[in-house]
Amino acid sequence: MAKVLKIREMTLGAGKPKICIPITGKNETELREEVSVVKTVCCDIVEWRVDHFEEIDDVEKVKETLGELKIILGRIPILFTCRTKQEGGEKEISAEDYINLYREVIGTGNADLVDVEMMLGEEVCSTLLECAHNNNVYVVMSSHDFEKTPDKETLVERFRSMQEQGADVPKIAVMPHNAGDVITLLAATNEFTEKYADRPVISMSMGWLGSISRISGEFFGSALTFGAAKHVSAPGQLSVSDVNYILKVLHNTDNE
């Protein structure tokens, strides 16, 4: 059975899937507006997609803004993410600058988790894993494919590689072209969690076709789903109110 992660008051990997709201403001004003909406809905964790932030190249400004977000969000954990262009994000960034940004952010102690992209290579990943773990920060190691859904064996092997490298939470998101692709993603998640996983896992099939995976992932092993409060950060992302409602209905049904 996969172990759980205790992140402040949130337990990831036990009970119903946790809900993460991404915030994507370009500046402090937009971020404050998004956070004010977040505070009015039910969510378990907030992801700051810093690749949307206009002042991302000013590391001191990023750290200052993250500190402000932590104060405003209070008990809600923060996942810090710089999504690169290669993985569907907004930022072209060198490996050196990526490492420096993450090292500085991790050192503040204001991020509970950081998202590190597997495609950056084992050297970058191992460097940031060591830095994060030395500072008691969890690492979500992620892989995104916006073009296709690889076969089940490839996805399971990708999950296993993330776990072997030391990721606290392996995460895979893929793009489906048909219903079979969605089933492939869910089957790979199920196989990994049942046979190999000793930690929480996140997976999703993107786009409208894959939206079912965002609410049914629990049954196949995914511990967290994303819901939009104001702006979506990925194709097929549902509103947080819809996700909350559906998960509530599913769990009420389970208890009947």
Residue 244 identity (one-letter amino acid): N
Neighbours of 79 (CB within 10 A): 21
To the nearest 10 degrees (0 to 180), the angle between helices 122-134 and 95-108 is 10
> Do strands 18-23 and 45-49 pair parallel, antiparallel, or not at all (unpaired)?
parallel
Q: Could you tell me where the DSSP H helices lie in the chain?
A: 28-38, 59-73, 95-108, 122-134, 152-165, 179-195, 213-216, 240-254
Q: Are 79 and 102 in contact, with CB atoms under 8 Å apart? A: no
The secondary structure element, H or E, covering residue 40 is: none
- Residue 141: helix, strand or coil by DSSP? strand
Given the residues 52, 70, 144, 230, the one annotated as active site: 144
Tokens of 134: 């030395």
Q: CA 46 to CA 38: how far, in whole Å? A: 8
The residue behind tokens 């205790």 is: 6
Given the residues 18, 70, 152, 171, the one annotated as active site: 171
**CB-based burial label for 35 (10 Å; 0-12, 13-18, 19+):** buried
Respond yes or no: is residue 171 known to be catalytic.
Answer: yes
Respond yes or no: is residue 6 known to be catalytic.
Answer: no
Q: CA 41 to CA 80: how far, in whole Å? A: 20
Residue 64 identity (one-letter amino acid): E
Query: Active-site residue numbers?
Result: 144, 171
